[in-house]
Amino acid sequence: MDRDRGTLLQAMPADHAEHLLAIPASRSTPLLRRCTALATRARVDLMVTSRPADCKELAGVLTELASWEGAHLDEPDPTMLVLAAAALQDLRERCGEAQQMALGAAIAAVLRVLHAAMR
């Protein structure tokens, strides 16, 4: 299916293809809000219990966010971009060694997307 979409996008004028790839704020804002909440909860869990938090849900959100292209975000909510980036940065700094290995690469990938969108 991705191959068919790629063929279709190549056959279209560039401006129409970019429109199809655009991620509207109605889709990005709720996911950024969810990412912020999950990263904050994971940080609190680490601080309060001093043990790794269960981050399966956060990992799923990070996977989707990392698949985005910052340039394809169509008028993202600037507040949510900043809040999500700050929450992820803070979580990454507070993660223990084992959890940092598990989430570190995903957090770094999402931070690259968010920073690109902020430019």
pLDDT at 75 over 90: no
Note the pLDDT of residue 111.
Answer: 94
* Cα–Cα distance, 16 to 104 (Å, whole number): 35
pLDDT at 65 over 60: yes
CA distances from residue 83 to 4, 8, 29, 72 in whole angstroms, order as listed: 36, 35, 11, 19
Note the pLDDT of residue 84.
Answer: 96
Please tell me which residue, 116 or 13, carries the higher pLDDT value. Answer: 116
Q: What is the pTM of this model?
A: 0.75
The one-letter amino acid code at 53 reads A
pLDDT confidence bin for 81, thresholds 50/70/90: very high
- Degrees, nearest 5: CA angle 39-44-49: 130
The torsion angle over the Cα atoms of residues 25, 26, 32 and 35, rounded to 10 degrees, is -160
| Residues whose CB is less than 8 angstroms from the CB of residue 62 and which lie 6 or more positions away in sequence, other chains included | 35, 103, 106, 107, 109, 110
Structure tokens at 110: 């999402």
* Cα–Cα distance, 35 to 49 (Å, whole number): 21
Strands 73-74 and 23-24, bridge-based pairing: parallel
The one-letter amino acid code at 41 reads R
Q: What tens digit of pLDDT does each residue of 2-61 get?
A: 455 455 445 544 444 444 578 899 999 999 999 999 999 988 887 776 555 668 889 999
Please tell me which residue, 21 or 73, carries the higher pLDDT value. Answer: 73
Note the pLDDT of residue 26.
Answer: 93
